[in-house]
Amino acid sequence: MAKKPKSLCYVLRSFPEPSETFISEEAISVMNSGVRVSIVVMSEGNRTVIHPSSQRLLDANCVYFVSQPGRWALAKSLVRLTLQQPLKTLGALSKALRHPYRWIYFSVLPAAVWCRSRNIEYLHAHFADFNLQAADALATWLGKPFGVTTHRYDIIDDPIDANVARALFRASNLLVTISKWNVRHMIAKYQLQQSRLEIVHCGINLADFGFHQRSFAENEPFRLLNVGRLVPVKGHATLLHALAQVRGQGVTCHLDIIGAGLLEGELRRLCLELGLEQCVTFHGAQPQSFVRESLKRAHAFVLSSYAEGLPVACIEAAASGTPLIATRINGLPELIDDGISGLLVDANNAAALARAISWAATHRTALAAMTAAARRKVENEFDRTACTEQLLSLAASATGVPD
């Protein structure tokens, strides 16, 4: 039997978040493996559309929401920790008082008391941002190991200073990332040893995404699906311009967009300017069940982003048998082998994206072989259970759990 910790605590800035359901899915998978899961949340998230996995975690009463503690609450928490573990607490207090981000250390004090009551063995953050800083602070109070999974924005956009991130990476007991591209980038940027970095993919539950071979009715529009937040980095404007070019070539198609964001009004106006109002449907934020049904109906999944880590939406599409058309960025070539398991194009290139869509629409038989290859790739490398067992084994090593 693979080794694993008895208890694991995720440290998150906000929860639930519709765009971060991969975290709640991972937490449920960890829970299903027999590990007790806890979640420390620094602020209330977005409850507009709550994913079933997030709701299950909320119902399990394993989520601790950190309010802004007053001085009395901080003093009370500090006294409790001191009585329970005097030497550790005094050492942590000395570090906190000297730390430039001491406010983080004190803001998590009540959460540290809660974590100790739940016998947390290991703390894990997703994203090298405030989440990692809070996990480090909690680990200091508790005297427990901590780790992080990095994705994309956190190692590209520097939500915390790169030097601060480097110090946290070096102090962490477990350093995980989601792709080989990330490994290369982090070694170069943070001067890390490759042996410190582990790759654990954001897997999916294969049973939830059954493979469906596409069928095409005569004279049916080529149905494209895009899933993602309506924000600039997702490249929706490029996608709409590509769609206009495809229609100009005489290819009948329809685009379904699932997701919400600040750009919706602007994108709707662009549809009007390009004459696409009849062939683009904005569905807004939708539950996972809606996404799954949309994947079954779609003839191709298209991702036009300028920057991504290794998006779960593409993994889900590949598992479902939905042909993939995506931009050649970051970790995506590790999922999509161009011309074999999908099509890759340069980012921010409407003409290239239009050519790929037109080719897919007019070579529908060739897509079948691509979808089969994509499904095999997901089965071999992105199975949720296997990814969870890998993470737990690494966490166990970080905590010193014996084989």
For 280-321, the pLDDT digits (tens) are 999 999 988 999 999 999 999 999 999 999 999 999 999 999
For 225-284, the pLDDT digits (tens) are 999 999 999 999 999 999 999 999 999 999 999 999 999 999 999 999 999 999 999 999
Backbone φ, ψ for residue 120 (5° rounding): -65, 130
* Region of poorest pLDDT, from 63-72, 140-149, 247-256, 268-277: 63-72
For helices 350-362 and 364-381, give the axis angle rounded to 10 degrees. Answer: 110
Residue 402 has pLDDT above 70, yes or no: no
CA–CA separation, 403 and 395 (whole Å) = 12
Identity of the residue numbered 202: C
Query: Which residues have a Cβ under 8 Å from the Cβ of 165 and sit 6 or more positions away?
Result: 128, 132, 154, 155, 158, 190
Q: Which residues lie across from 12 on neighbouring strands? A: 41
Around Cβ 98, how many Cβ atoms within 10 Å?
8
Closest CA to 109 of 146, 73, 136: 73
